[in-house]
Amino acid sequence: MSIAENLQAIYDNIKRSALDCGRDPEEIQLVAVSKRFPVTAIEEAYAAGQTVFGENYIQEAEGKASELGGKCTLHFIGHLQRNKAKIAARIFDVIETIDTFKLANTLNRHLEDLDRTMKILLQVNIGEDEHKSGMAAEQTEQLLREISGLPRLKVIGLMTMPPFTDDPEDARPYFRQLKQLADSLAAKGLFAEGEKIELSMGMSNDYHVAIEEGATIIRVGTAIFGQRA
């Protein structure tokens, strides 16, 4: 199947999953994860109507961003090192993986230099998986409070990647926990004012479960572009 056909199938699935659980399909955004795929693949998806893309590696993304010339919305979804924050501040529209104050502070400083603001999500290691980045759920409130003092950053939600398994149902409890955490933080008014609160969860194999559990951003790579080399 072509990229356009894959995308159409996913748009249809999103719609069906959302309607089946009484949600508005319009509140779910697809981030097409294009890591390790060339700009030509992004162009193909763009021609089929997809405008939001996710990238994991700064150097790779920097080249692609300059080739694309600003026509796409780019989310950073990889692990961000502080020495790469300057480039990230320049090329991304949303950074989904902030997990320490030090990193947030560095990013804020670069954004100030560029006279930009950035929407960010905090990455929560909800499964307490030692192989994954992100902070523990209990640390999220404190980090939100600390970041609220950084004027260039707007925290619009939470992102997670549960421990990988073959059965998408295994991810459900983690998605549910992230939603509960976001709801409790939202009730305390800790997210950026006037912005829709985002929950970024769900990938190729489990996005339908994530939608049932309240995802507003799903990050899908393989199901659009195929297996990565």
Ligand X SMILES: *Cc1c(COP(=O)(O)O)cnc(C)c1O
Tell which positions 59-98 bind ligand X, by CB under 6 A: 77
CB of 145 to ligand X, least distance (A): 25
Q: Residue 162 Cβ, how far from ligand X at the closest point, in Å?
A: 11
- Smallest distance from the beta carbon of 193 to ligand X, in angstroms? 27
Which residues 196-215 are close enough to bind ligand X by CB under 6 A? 203-204
Between 78 and 214, CB nearer to ligand X: 78
Residue from 33, 98, 155, 158 binding ligand X (CB under 6 A): 33
Q: State in angstroms the smallest separation of the CB of 198 from ligand X.
A: 14
Q: Is 216 in the site for ligand X (CB under 6 A)?
A: no
Q: Does 42 bind ligand X (CB under 6 A)?
A: no
Query: Which CB sits closer to ligand X, 39 or 164?
Result: 164
Distance CA 60, CA 35 (A): 8
**Distance in angstroms (rounded) separating the CA atoms of residues 45 and 74:** 14
Residue 76 zone, left/alpha/beta (φ > 0; ψ -120 to 50; rest): beta
Q: Applying CB under 6 A, which of residues 17, 56, 125, 160 lies at the interface with ligand X?
A: 56
Token output for 112: 């100030």
Closer of 150 and 159 to ligand X (Cβ): 159
3-state SS of 129-194 is CCCCCCECHHHHHHHHHHHCCCCCEEEEEEECCCCCCCCHHHHHHHHHHHHHHHHHHHHCCCCCCC
* Helix, strand, or coil (residue 65): helix
**Shortest Cβ distance from residue 112 to ligand X (Å)?**
27
Q: How far is the CB of 86 from ligand X (least distance, A)?
A: 22
Largest CA distance in the chain: 48
| Cα distances (Å, whole numbers) of residue 208 to 47, 87, 138, 212, 229 | 25, 33, 27, 6, 25
Total residues in contact with ligand X, by rule CB under 6 A: 12
Footprint of ligand X (CB under 6 A): 33, 35, 56, 77, 161, 203-204, 219-223
